[in-house]
Amino acid sequence: MSRNTLETFIDGIRWVWGPLSTEVAAGCSEHLLELLKAPPTEEWLAALHKEAPANQELFRDPTHGFVLLAHTEQEGLYRPPHDHGRGWVIYAIQQGEIEMETYARMEHPDGSVELVKRGATLVRPGQVQVYLPGDIHDTRCMTGPALLFRFTERDLKKEDKEEHRVTRYVERNGKWTVGTP
């Protein structure tokens, strides 16, 4: 029985899996790049294009805990600056374009927090973008609908909702600062 691109991706990730390192991040990125080459005729990908889910879990590894999600985003959708707690994430763009801006967190002597924008990257189909623990970024769908895959090394929903380790930022008086939980 032949394996589809998604199944090949899962096997490949399991092969390179381990504690976060340059090699693990690079290996996972390479497998995501291969996933982006899946023919649109593969049943799982054809269904994503047809159904255009805002958020759909494609795979959760019961042993290692990594998760692959698919997101369909409409042009103009903006997700404000945030980090991913202790987790690391790789975004992979299958269709559309997503701009991702990065920030540094600055703490002032009075204890207030302000984000300083570092730069922006326009991520296009066939490209991936890696964010390590502590990295802060936002996303904006520039060309949509966009289909992107989000590969996370752990369940970020649990990280956010149960353990409160994800930091979200809000804009106040023209500056990004820590939001209230």
Tell me which residue range forms the domain holding 73. Answer: 5-178
Give the total number of structural domains in the chain. Answer: 1
Give ∠ CA 46-52-55 in degrees, rounded to 5.
115
The 10s digit of each residue's pLDDT in 113-151 is: 999 999 999 999 999 999 999 999 999 999 989 999 999
User: For position 22, what pLDDT does the model report?
Assistant: 97
Q: Percent of the chain, pLDDT > 90?
A: 78
Question: What's the farthest any 2 CA atoms get from each other in the chain?
Answer: 63
Query: Which pLDDT band, with edges at 50, 70 and 90, does 157 fall under?
Result: low
Q: Which residue has the higher pLDDT, 72 or 83?
A: 72
In this prediction, residues 86-98 reach a mean pLDDT of 95
Whether pLDDT at 62 is above 80: yes
Q: Does an H or E element contain 91, and which?
A: strand 89-107
Distances (CA, A) of 68 to 31, 71, 141: 12, 10, 19
Assign residue 123 the CATH number of its domain: 2.60.120.10
Q: What is the pTM of this model?
A: 0.90
